[in-house]
Protein backbone atom coordinates (compact mmCIF):
# COMPACT_ATOMS: atom_id res chain seq x y z
CA UNK A 1 0.00 0.00 0.00
CA UNK A 2 1.58 3.25 -1.08
CA UNK A 3 -0.64 5.44 1.06
CA UNK A 4 1.77 8.35 0.82
CA UNK A 5 0.32 8.99 -2.60
CA UNK A 6 -2.97 9.81 -0.86
CA UNK A 7 -1.42 12.62 1.15
CA UNK A 8 -3.85 15.34 -0.01
CA UNK A 9 -6.83 13.16 0.89
CA UNK A 10 -5.41 12.19 4.26
CA UNK A 11 -4.63 15.80 5.02
CA UNK A 12 -8.19 16.75 4.17
CA UNK A 13 -9.66 13.99 6.35
CA UNK A 14 -7.48 15.10 9.26
CA UNK A 15 -8.60 18.69 8.71
CA UNK A 16 -12.24 17.65 8.80
CA UNK A 17 -11.71 15.99 12.15
CA UNK A 18 -9.70 18.96 13.39
CA UNK A 19 -12.48 21.33 12.38
CA UNK A 20 -14.97 19.39 14.48
CA UNK A 21 -12.55 19.41 17.41
CA UNK A 22 -11.94 23.15 17.12
CA UNK A 23 -15.65 23.76 16.90
CA UNK A 24 -16.23 21.63 19.98
CA UNK A 25 -13.52 23.01 22.23
CA UNK A 26 -13.03 26.53 21.09
CA UNK A 27 -15.41 29.45 21.39
CA UNK A 28 -13.82 31.57 18.70
CA UNK A 29 -15.86 30.72 15.62
CA UNK A 30 -13.54 32.11 13.00
CA UNK A 31 -10.88 29.62 14.05
CA UNK A 32 -13.01 27.01 12.28
CA UNK A 33 -12.79 28.97 9.05
CA UNK A 34 -9.07 29.42 9.49
CA UNK A 35 -8.56 25.72 10.19
CA UNK A 36 -10.48 24.60 7.13
CA UNK A 37 -8.78 27.13 4.85
CA UNK A 38 -5.38 26.12 6.20
CA UNK A 39 -6.21 22.46 5.71
CA UNK A 40 -7.32 23.07 2.14
CA UNK A 41 -4.19 25.07 1.37
CA UNK A 42 -2.01 22.33 2.82
CA UNK A 43 -3.87 19.75 0.81
CA UNK A 44 -3.43 21.84 -2.35
CA UNK A 45 0.31 22.01 -1.71
CA UNK A 46 0.50 18.25 -1.26
CA UNK A 47 -1.47 17.69 -4.45
CA UNK A 48 0.91 20.03 -6.29
CA UNK A 49 3.84 18.00 -4.98
CA UNK A 50 2.33 14.86 -6.50
CA UNK A 51 2.72 16.27 -9.99
CA UNK A 52 5.44 14.47 -11.84
CA UNK A 53 4.99 11.17 -10.05
CA UNK A 54 4.76 8.28 -12.44
CA UNK A 55 1.36 6.78 -12.96
CA UNK A 56 0.73 4.19 -10.29
CA UNK A 57 -2.10 2.38 -8.61
CA UNK A 58 -2.82 2.97 -4.94
CA UNK A 59 -4.18 0.36 -2.56
CA UNK A 60 -3.94 -2.66 -4.85
CA UNK A 61 -5.72 -1.00 -7.71
CA UNK A 62 -8.52 0.64 -5.77
CA UNK A 63 -7.34 4.07 -6.75
CA UNK A 64 -4.94 5.38 -9.33
CA UNK A 65 -2.56 8.30 -9.28
CA UNK A 66 -2.29 9.96 -12.64
CA UNK A 67 -2.33 13.51 -14.00
CA UNK A 68 -6.04 13.27 -14.65
CA UNK A 69 -6.70 12.56 -10.97
CA UNK A 70 -4.26 15.23 -9.79
CA UNK A 71 -5.90 17.79 -12.04
CA UNK A 72 -9.33 17.06 -10.60
CA UNK A 73 -7.99 16.99 -7.06
CA UNK A 74 -6.60 20.48 -7.52
CA UNK A 75 -9.82 21.64 -9.16
CA UNK A 76 -12.01 20.33 -6.32
CA UNK A 77 -9.72 21.74 -3.64
CA UNK A 78 -9.65 25.10 -5.38
CA UNK A 79 -13.43 25.27 -5.69
CA UNK A 80 -13.91 24.17 -2.07
CA UNK A 81 -11.52 26.89 -0.97
CA UNK A 82 -13.44 29.51 -2.94
CA UNK A 83 -16.75 28.25 -1.57
CA UNK A 84 -15.50 28.55 2.01
CA UNK A 85 -14.03 32.00 1.36
CA UNK A 86 -17.24 33.21 -0.26
CA UNK A 87 -19.46 31.94 2.54
CA UNK A 88 -17.62 33.41 5.55
CA UNK A 89 -20.51 35.83 6.10
CA UNK A 90 -23.23 33.44 5.05
CA UNK A 91 -22.33 30.79 7.65
CA UNK A 92 -23.30 33.22 10.38
CA UNK A 93 -26.83 32.27 9.44
CA UNK A 94 -26.05 28.75 10.69
CA UNK A 95 -24.80 29.64 14.18
CA UNK A 96 -24.98 26.20 15.75
CA UNK A 97 -23.77 24.32 12.70
CA UNK A 98 -20.61 26.26 12.03
CA UNK A 99 -18.27 23.34 12.56
CA UNK A 100 -20.50 20.79 10.86
CA UNK A 101 -20.84 22.98 7.80
CA UNK A 102 -17.10 23.15 7.29
CA UNK A 103 -16.37 19.57 8.27
CA UNK A 104 -19.02 18.15 5.95
CA UNK A 105 -17.92 20.41 3.13
CA UNK A 106 -14.42 19.02 3.54
CA UNK A 107 -15.58 15.40 3.56
CA UNK A 108 -17.70 16.04 0.49
CA UNK A 109 -14.61 17.43 -1.24
CA UNK A 110 -12.65 14.41 -0.06
CA UNK A 111 -15.25 12.13 -1.64
CA UNK A 112 -15.04 14.03 -4.93
CA UNK A 113 -11.24 13.77 -4.96
CA UNK A 114 -11.39 10.04 -4.36
CA UNK A 115 -14.05 9.67 -7.05
CA UNK A 116 -11.77 11.22 -9.64
CA UNK A 117 -9.00 8.83 -8.63
CA UNK A 118 -11.14 5.70 -8.35
CA UNK A 119 -10.07 2.77 -10.48
CA UNK A 120 -12.31 0.11 -9.05
CA UNK A 121 -16.06 -0.27 -8.82
CA UNK A 122 -16.13 -0.52 -5.02
CA UNK A 123 -13.82 2.44 -4.48
CA UNK A 124 -15.83 4.44 -6.96
CA UNK A 125 -19.13 3.66 -5.28
CA UNK A 126 -17.83 4.44 -1.80
CA UNK A 127 -16.29 7.73 -2.90
CA UNK A 128 -19.49 8.80 -4.62
CA UNK A 129 -21.47 7.94 -1.51
CA UNK A 130 -19.08 9.86 0.72
CA UNK A 131 -19.80 13.01 -1.27
CA UNK A 132 -23.52 12.33 -1.48
CA UNK A 133 -24.08 11.58 2.21
CA UNK A 134 -22.14 14.68 3.27
CA UNK A 135 -24.27 16.71 0.92
CA UNK A 136 -27.56 15.24 2.20
CA UNK A 137 -26.81 16.75 5.59
CA UNK A 138 -25.52 20.01 4.16
CA UNK A 139 -28.63 20.57 2.06
CA UNK A 140 -30.81 20.39 5.18
CA UNK A 141 -28.73 22.83 7.17
CA UNK A 142 -30.94 25.89 6.87
CA UNK A 143 -33.59 23.90 8.80
CA UNK A 144 -36.48 25.73 7.24
CA UNK A 145 -39.31 24.11 5.32
CA UNK A 146 -37.74 24.60 1.92
CA UNK A 147 -34.37 23.33 2.99
CA UNK A 148 -35.90 20.28 4.66
CA UNK A 149 -38.06 19.53 1.67
CA UNK A 150 -35.16 19.64 -0.73
CA UNK A 151 -33.04 17.53 1.60
CA UNK A 152 -35.71 14.82 1.76
CA UNK A 153 -36.07 14.93 -2.01
CA UNK A 154 -32.34 14.68 -2.45
CA UNK A 155 -31.98 11.80 -0.01
CA UNK A 156 -34.85 9.79 -1.48
CA UNK A 157 -33.85 10.27 -5.09
CA UNK A 158 -30.20 9.89 -4.20
CA UNK A 159 -30.92 6.60 -2.49
CA UNK A 160 -32.82 5.30 -5.49
CA UNK A 161 -29.99 6.42 -7.68
CA UNK A 162 -27.44 4.65 -5.51
CA UNK A 163 -29.50 1.49 -5.81
CA UNK A 164 -29.64 1.79 -9.59
CA UNK A 165 -25.93 2.45 -9.78
CA UNK A 166 -25.17 -0.45 -7.47
CA UNK A 167 -27.40 -2.79 -9.44
CA UNK A 168 -25.74 -1.76 -12.69
CA UNK A 169 -22.26 -2.20 -11.25
CA UNK A 170 -23.23 -5.54 -9.75
CA UNK A 171 -24.31 -6.75 -13.18
CA UNK A 172 -21.07 -5.54 -14.72
CA UNK A 173 -19.17 -7.33 -11.97
CA UNK A 174 -21.22 -10.45 -12.55
CA UNK A 175 -20.54 -10.55 -16.27
CA UNK A 176 -16.92 -9.50 -16.17
CA UNK A 177 -15.90 -11.20 -12.94
CA UNK A 178 -13.97 -8.31 -11.51
CA UNK A 179 -14.37 -4.98 -9.77
CA UNK A 180 -11.22 -3.47 -11.19
CA UNK A 181 -11.57 -1.21 -14.23
CA UNK A 182 -8.54 -2.82 -15.82
CA UNK A 183 -9.91 -6.34 -15.54
CA UNK A 184 -13.33 -5.25 -16.72
CA UNK A 185 -11.65 -3.71 -19.73
CA UNK A 186 -9.86 -6.98 -20.41
CA UNK A 187 -13.12 -8.90 -20.14
CA UNK A 188 -14.95 -6.47 -22.38
CA UNK A 189 -12.21 -6.63 -24.98
CA UNK A 190 -12.83 -10.34 -25.50
CA UNK A 191 -16.34 -9.59 -26.74
CA UNK A 192 -16.49 -10.00 -30.49
CA UNK A 193 -17.66 -6.96 -32.35
CA UNK A 194 -21.02 -7.89 -33.80
CA UNK A 195 -22.32 -10.21 -31.11
CA UNK A 196 -22.73 -7.65 -28.39
CA UNK A 197 -26.37 -8.56 -28.21
CA UNK A 198 -25.29 -11.88 -26.67
CA UNK A 199 -24.05 -9.96 -23.67
CA UNK A 200 -27.35 -8.40 -22.71
CA UNK A 201 -26.59 -8.55 -19.00
CA UNK A 202 -23.42 -6.56 -19.39
CA UNK A 203 -25.19 -4.06 -21.59
CA UNK A 204 -28.03 -3.74 -19.10
CA UNK A 205 -25.54 -3.15 -16.32
CA UNK A 206 -23.78 -0.51 -18.38
CA UNK A 207 -27.04 1.29 -19.13
CA UNK A 208 -28.00 1.32 -15.44
CA UNK A 209 -24.56 2.61 -14.51
CA UNK A 210 -24.81 5.39 -17.07
CA UNK A 211 -28.22 6.31 -15.65
CA UNK A 212 -26.60 6.56 -12.23
CA UNK A 213 -23.94 8.92 -13.57
CA UNK A 214 -26.56 10.91 -15.47
CA UNK A 215 -28.32 11.53 -12.16
CA UNK A 216 -25.11 12.86 -10.63
CA UNK A 217 -24.54 15.35 -13.43
CA UNK A 218 -28.25 16.18 -13.73
CA UNK A 219 -28.60 15.10 -17.34
CA UNK A 220 -32.05 14.75 -18.90
CA UNK A 221 -34.12 12.69 -18.07
CA UNK A 222 -32.53 12.34 -14.63
CA UNK A 223 -32.44 16.06 -13.92
CA UNK A 224 -35.72 16.61 -12.06
CA UNK A 225 -34.14 16.69 -8.61
CA UNK A 226 -31.71 19.48 -9.42
CA UNK A 227 -33.96 22.59 -9.47
CA UNK A 228 -35.76 21.66 -6.25
CA UNK A 229 -32.61 20.75 -4.38
CA UNK A 230 -30.66 23.74 -5.69
CA UNK A 231 -33.44 26.09 -4.67
CA UNK A 232 -33.87 24.88 -1.11
CA UNK A 233 -30.24 24.21 -0.21
CA UNK A 234 -28.08 26.86 1.48
CA UNK A 235 -26.54 28.83 -1.40
CA UNK A 236 -22.91 27.76 -0.75
CA UNK A 237 -24.13 24.18 -0.96
CA UNK A 238 -25.97 24.93 -4.19
CA UNK A 239 -22.69 26.18 -5.57
CA UNK A 240 -20.94 23.07 -4.32
CA UNK A 241 -23.59 20.79 -5.82
CA UNK A 242 -23.47 22.44 -9.21
CA UNK A 243 -19.67 22.45 -9.38
CA UNK A 244 -17.80 19.87 -7.30
CA UNK A 245 -20.53 17.24 -7.17
CA UNK A 246 -21.32 17.55 -10.86
CA UNK A 247 -17.69 17.67 -11.97
CA UNK A 248 -16.91 14.61 -9.85
CA UNK A 249 -19.70 12.78 -11.67
CA UNK A 250 -18.27 13.81 -15.03
CA UNK A 251 -14.73 12.89 -14.08
CA UNK A 252 -15.71 9.35 -13.18
CA UNK A 253 -18.07 9.02 -16.14
CA UNK A 254 -15.25 9.94 -18.50
CA UNK A 255 -12.77 7.63 -16.80
CA UNK A 256 -15.23 4.74 -16.59
CA UNK A 257 -16.12 5.06 -20.26
CA UNK A 258 -12.57 5.45 -21.47
CA UNK A 259 -10.86 2.84 -19.30
CA UNK A 260 -13.40 0.11 -18.72
CA UNK A 261 -15.36 0.23 -21.97
CA UNK A 262 -13.09 1.68 -24.58
CA UNK A 263 -12.20 -1.55 -26.36
CA UNK A 264 -15.26 -2.65 -28.25
CA UNK A 265 -15.54 -0.23 -31.08
CA UNK A 266 -19.13 -0.75 -32.05
CA UNK A 267 -20.39 -0.78 -28.47
CA UNK A 268 -18.74 2.49 -27.60
CA UNK A 269 -19.78 4.06 -30.88
CA UNK A 270 -23.41 3.25 -30.25
CA UNK A 271 -23.09 4.64 -26.78
CA UNK A 272 -21.61 7.78 -28.24
CA UNK A 273 -24.72 8.42 -30.31
CA UNK A 274 -26.92 7.86 -27.25
CA UNK A 275 -24.75 10.24 -25.25
CA UNK A 276 -24.97 12.82 -28.04
CA UNK A 277 -28.77 12.60 -28.02
CA UNK A 278 -28.86 12.89 -24.23
CA UNK A 279 -26.55 15.89 -24.52
CA UNK A 280 -28.84 17.59 -27.05
CA UNK A 281 -31.92 16.92 -24.90
CA UNK A 282 -30.18 18.09 -21.75
CA UNK A 283 -29.05 21.43 -23.09
CA UNK A 284 -32.31 22.14 -24.87
CA UNK A 285 -34.52 21.25 -21.92
CA UNK A 286 -32.29 23.15 -19.48
CA UNK A 287 -32.23 26.31 -21.57
CA UNK A 288 -35.89 26.33 -22.49
CA UNK A 289 -37.14 25.80 -18.94
CA UNK A 290 -34.65 28.34 -17.58
CA UNK A 291 -36.36 31.08 -19.60
CA UNK A 292 -39.49 30.92 -17.49
CA UNK A 293 -37.82 30.99 -14.07
CA UNK A 294 -38.08 33.88 -11.61
CA UNK A 295 -36.10 32.39 -8.77
CA UNK A 296 -32.44 32.95 -9.46
CA UNK A 297 -31.30 29.69 -7.91
CA UNK A 298 -33.83 27.70 -9.91
CA UNK A 299 -32.79 29.57 -13.03
CA UNK A 300 -29.16 28.78 -12.38
CA UNK A 301 -30.11 25.17 -11.70
CA UNK A 302 -31.59 24.89 -15.18
CA UNK A 303 -28.64 26.78 -16.63
CA UNK A 304 -26.39 24.28 -14.90
CA UNK A 305 -28.39 21.42 -16.43
CA UNK A 306 -27.88 23.02 -19.83
CA UNK A 307 -24.15 23.27 -19.11
CA UNK A 308 -24.10 19.54 -18.37
CA UNK A 309 -25.42 19.13 -21.89
CA UNK A 310 -22.41 20.97 -23.33
CA UNK A 311 -20.09 18.86 -21.18
CA UNK A 312 -21.70 15.66 -22.42
CA UNK A 313 -20.75 16.69 -25.96
CA UNK A 314 -17.16 16.02 -24.98
CA UNK A 315 -17.99 12.61 -23.56
CA UNK A 316 -19.96 11.75 -26.69
CA UNK A 317 -17.06 12.87 -28.89
CA UNK A 318 -14.66 10.80 -26.83
CA UNK A 319 -16.91 7.78 -27.28
CA UNK A 320 -17.50 8.25 -30.99
CA UNK A 321 -14.17 9.51 -32.16
CA UNK A 322 -11.97 7.80 -29.59
CA UNK A 323 -9.96 11.02 -29.51
CA UNK A 324 -9.50 10.68 -25.82
CA UNK A 325 -6.44 12.87 -25.29
CA UNK A 326 -7.90 15.93 -27.00
CA UNK A 327 -11.33 15.25 -25.53
CA UNK A 328 -9.96 15.15 -22.05
CA UNK A 329 -8.06 18.39 -22.37
CA UNK A 330 -11.20 20.02 -23.80
CA UNK A 331 -13.32 18.67 -20.96
CA UNK A 332 -10.83 19.82 -18.36
CA UNK A 333 -10.73 23.31 -19.83
CA UNK A 334 -14.49 23.50 -20.09
CA UNK A 335 -14.96 22.33 -16.51
CA UNK A 336 -12.58 24.93 -15.12
CA UNK A 337 -14.23 27.68 -17.15
CA UNK A 338 -17.64 26.52 -15.99
CA UNK A 339 -16.59 26.22 -12.36
CA UNK A 340 -15.06 29.69 -12.04
CA UNK A 341 -18.07 31.27 -13.71
CA UNK A 342 -20.41 29.45 -11.33
CA UNK A 343 -18.25 30.52 -8.40
CA UNK A 344 -18.45 34.16 -9.50
CA UNK A 345 -22.23 34.12 -9.94
CA UNK A 346 -23.06 32.12 -6.82
CA UNK A 347 -20.60 34.04 -4.66
CA UNK A 348 -22.57 37.19 -5.43
CA UNK A 349 -25.77 35.46 -4.37
CA UNK A 350 -24.08 34.12 -1.24
CA UNK A 351 -22.77 37.57 -0.33
CA UNK A 352 -26.08 39.27 -1.06
CA UNK A 353 -28.02 36.80 1.07
CA UNK A 354 -25.81 37.07 4.15
CA UNK A 355 -28.78 38.16 6.26
CA UNK A 356 -31.81 36.84 4.44
CA UNK A 357 -32.45 34.96 1.23
CA UNK A 358 -32.19 36.99 -1.94
CA UNK A 359 -33.63 34.39 -4.25
CA UNK A 360 -35.82 36.37 -6.55
CA UNK A 361 -34.27 37.85 -9.66
CA UNK A 362 -36.00 41.15 -8.86
CA UNK A 363 -34.07 41.28 -5.56
CA UNK A 364 -31.03 42.08 -7.66
CA UNK A 365 -32.58 45.16 -9.26
CA UNK A 366 -30.08 47.99 -9.36
CA UNK A 367 -27.31 45.92 -7.81
CA UNK A 368 -24.91 47.98 -9.93
CA UNK A 369 -25.74 51.04 -7.83
CA UNK A 370 -25.58 49.20 -4.53
CA UNK A 371 -22.32 47.41 -5.19
CA UNK A 372 -20.48 47.81 -8.50
CA UNK A 373 -18.06 45.02 -7.57
CA UNK A 374 -20.82 42.44 -7.09
CA UNK A 375 -22.58 43.64 -10.24
CA UNK A 376 -19.41 43.33 -12.33
CA UNK A 377 -18.60 39.88 -10.96
CA UNK A 378 -22.07 38.56 -11.58
CA UNK A 379 -22.19 40.02 -15.07
CA UNK A 380 -18.83 38.52 -15.94
CA UNK A 381 -19.90 35.14 -14.61
CA UNK A 382 -23.21 35.15 -16.46
CA UNK A 383 -21.67 36.31 -19.73
CA UNK A 384 -19.03 33.61 -19.42
CA UNK A 385 -21.70 30.96 -18.88
CA UNK A 386 -23.48 32.38 -21.91
CA UNK A 387 -20.28 31.90 -23.87
CA UNK A 388 -19.46 35.43 -24.86
CA UNK A 389 -15.88 36.19 -25.92
CA UNK A 390 -13.34 37.01 -24.67
CA UNK A 391 -14.39 35.18 -21.51
CA UNK A 392 -13.39 31.69 -20.44
CA UNK A 393 -16.80 30.22 -21.26
CA UNK A 394 -16.45 31.15 -24.91
CA UNK A 395 -13.09 29.47 -25.29
CA UNK A 396 -14.46 26.39 -23.56
CA UNK A 397 -17.33 26.22 -26.01
CA UNK A 398 -15.04 26.90 -28.93
CA UNK A 399 -12.77 23.98 -28.06
CA UNK A 400 -15.71 21.66 -27.43
CA UNK A 401 -17.64 22.64 -30.54
CA UNK A 402 -14.68 22.54 -32.89
CA UNK A 403 -13.76 19.06 -31.74
CA UNK A 404 -17.35 17.85 -32.03
CA UNK A 405 -17.55 19.24 -35.57
CA UNK A 406 -14.37 17.40 -36.48
CA UNK A 407 -15.83 14.13 -35.31
CA UNK A 408 -18.98 14.23 -37.35
CA UNK A 409 -21.27 15.71 -34.73
CA UNK A 410 -22.03 18.85 -36.71
CA UNK A 411 -25.75 18.47 -35.99
CA UNK A 412 -25.01 18.52 -32.29
CA UNK A 413 -22.88 21.64 -32.72
CA UNK A 414 -25.73 23.37 -34.52
CA UNK A 415 -28.14 22.46 -31.72
CA UNK A 416 -25.56 23.69 -29.21
CA UNK A 417 -25.06 27.10 -30.85
CA UNK A 418 -28.81 27.61 -31.16
CA UNK A 419 -28.99 26.77 -27.47
CA UNK A 420 -26.33 29.36 -26.70
CA UNK A 421 -28.50 31.98 -28.37
CA UNK A 422 -31.54 30.86 -26.37
CA UNK A 423 -29.53 31.04 -23.17
CA UNK A 424 -28.57 34.64 -23.97
CA UNK A 425 -32.18 35.58 -23.34
CA UNK A 426 -32.31 34.56 -19.71
CA UNK A 427 -28.74 35.43 -18.82
CA UNK A 428 -29.27 38.92 -20.20
CA UNK A 429 -32.52 39.16 -18.25
CA UNK A 430 -30.48 39.02 -15.04
CA UNK A 431 -27.82 41.37 -16.42
CA UNK A 432 -30.53 43.84 -17.34
CA UNK A 433 -32.06 43.65 -13.86
CA UNK A 434 -28.69 44.29 -12.28
CA UNK A 435 -27.73 47.28 -14.36
CA UNK A 436 -30.93 48.92 -15.47
CA UNK A 437 -33.68 48.45 -12.92
CA UNK A 438 -34.13 50.85 -10.03
CA UNK A 439 -32.91 49.40 -6.72
CA UNK A 440 -35.48 48.74 -4.01
CA UNK A 441 -33.15 50.19 -1.38
CA UNK A 442 -30.13 52.39 -1.81
CA UNK A 443 -28.07 50.66 0.91
CA UNK A 444 -24.71 49.45 -0.22
CA UNK A 445 -24.27 45.68 0.04
CA UNK A 446 -21.67 44.93 2.70
CA UNK A 447 -18.90 42.61 1.70
CA UNK A 448 -16.06 41.44 3.90
CA UNK A 449 -12.59 40.67 2.72
CA UNK A 450 -12.73 36.88 2.22
CA UNK A 451 -15.74 36.87 -0.13
CA UNK A 452 -14.18 39.75 -2.04
CA UNK A 453 -11.09 37.62 -2.48
CA UNK A 454 -13.19 34.76 -3.86
CA UNK A 455 -14.84 37.15 -6.32
CA UNK A 456 -11.53 38.60 -7.36
CA UNK A 457 -9.97 35.19 -7.98
CA UNK A 458 -12.90 33.93 -10.02
CA UNK A 459 -13.21 37.11 -12.09
CA UNK A 460 -9.49 37.18 -12.84
CA UNK A 461 -9.76 33.53 -13.83
CA UNK A 462 -12.67 34.19 -16.18
CA UNK A 463 -10.81 36.97 -17.98
CA UNK A 464 -7.36 35.41 -17.96
CA UNK A 465 -8.48 32.00 -19.20
CA UNK A 466 -10.62 33.62 -21.85
CA UNK A 467 -7.88 35.82 -23.27
CA UNK A 468 -4.95 33.46 -22.82
CA UNK A 469 -6.39 29.93 -22.89
CA UNK A 470 -2.91 28.59 -23.56
CA UNK A 471 -2.17 29.00 -19.86
CA UNK A 472 -4.54 26.25 -18.86
CA UNK A 473 -4.12 24.23 -22.00
CA UNK A 474 -0.60 23.44 -20.98
CA UNK A 475 -1.94 22.15 -17.71
CA UNK A 476 -4.84 20.39 -19.35
CA UNK A 477 -2.52 18.40 -21.57
CA UNK A 478 -1.47 16.42 -18.54
CA UNK A 479 -4.77 14.67 -18.87
CA UNK A 480 -3.63 13.09 -22.10
CA UNK A 481 -2.46 9.99 -20.25
CA UNK A 482 -5.67 8.18 -21.15
CA UNK A 483 -4.55 8.06 -24.75
CA UNK A 484 -2.27 5.27 -23.65
CA UNK A 485 -5.24 3.03 -23.15
CA UNK A 486 -6.09 2.90 -26.80
Which residues would be at the binding site for other proteins (CB under 8 A)?
A: 329, 372, 383, 388-390, 394, 398-399, 401-402, 405-406, 410, 413-414, 417-418, 420-421, 424-425, 428, 432, 435-436, 468-470, 473
| 120 DSSP assignment | B
Q: Which is nearer to other proteins, 232 or 272 (CB)?
A: 272
Estimate to the nearest angstrom the gap between the alpha carbon of 262 and the chain centroid.
Answer: 23
Q: Which is nearer to other proteins, 49 or 291 (CB)?
A: 291
Dist CA 69 CA 21 (whole Å): 30
**What DSSP element (H or E) covers 273?**
helix 265-291
Q: Nearest approach, Cβ of 405 to other proteins (angstroms)?
A: 5
Dist CA 162 CA 292 (whole Å): 31
Length of the chain in terms of residues written: 486
Q: Which is nearer to other proteins, 398 or 481 (CB)?
A: 398
Q: Nearest approach, Cβ of 432 to other proteins (angstroms)?
A: 7
Q: Nearest approach, Cβ of 363 to other proteins (angstroms)?
A: 19
Q: Nearest approach, Cβ of 417 to other proteins (angstroms)?
A: 4
DSSP string, 186-236: HHHHTSPTT-GGGGHHHHHHHHHHHHHHHHHTT-TTS-THHHHHHHHS-HH
Dist CA 142 CA 97 (whole Å): 9
| 357 DSSP assignment | -
Q: Which is nearer to other proteins, 143 or 294 (CB)?
A: 294
Estimate to the nearest angstrom the gap between the alpha carbon of 389 and the chain centroid.
Answer: 23
Q: Nearest approach, Cβ of 401 to other proteins (angstroms)?
A: 6
Of the candidates 392, 387, 390, 354, the residue with the CA atom closest to the CA atom of residue 371: 354
Q: Nearest approach, Cβ of 411 to other proteins (angstroms)?
A: 11
Q: How far is CA 443 from CA 345, 370, 432, in A?
A: 21, 6, 20
**What DSSP element (H or E) covers 56?**
strand 56-58
Q: Which is nearer to other proteins, 202 or 416 (CB)?
A: 416
Percent helix, strand, coil in the chain (nearest 5)? 80, 0, 15
Q: Which is nearer to other proteins, 356 or 470 (CB)?
A: 470
Q: Nearest approach, Cβ of 412 to other proteins (angstroms)?
A: 11
Dist CA 248 CA 311 (whole Å): 13
Q: Which is nearer to other proteins, 281 or 373 (CB)?
A: 373
Amino acid sequence: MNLDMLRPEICLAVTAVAVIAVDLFCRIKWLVNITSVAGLLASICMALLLIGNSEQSIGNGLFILDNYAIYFKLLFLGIALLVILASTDYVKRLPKLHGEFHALLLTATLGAMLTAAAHDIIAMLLSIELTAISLYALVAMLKNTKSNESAVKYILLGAVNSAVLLFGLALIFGFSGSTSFTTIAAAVSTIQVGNIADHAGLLFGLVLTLAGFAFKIAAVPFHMWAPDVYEGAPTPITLFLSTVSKIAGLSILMRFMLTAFIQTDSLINNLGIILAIVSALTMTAGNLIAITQHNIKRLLAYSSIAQSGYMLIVVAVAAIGLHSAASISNLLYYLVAFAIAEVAVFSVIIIASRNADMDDISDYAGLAKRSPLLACAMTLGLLSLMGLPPLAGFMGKFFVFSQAAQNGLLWLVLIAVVNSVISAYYYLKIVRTIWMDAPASADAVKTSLAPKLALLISCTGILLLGILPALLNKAAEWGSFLALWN
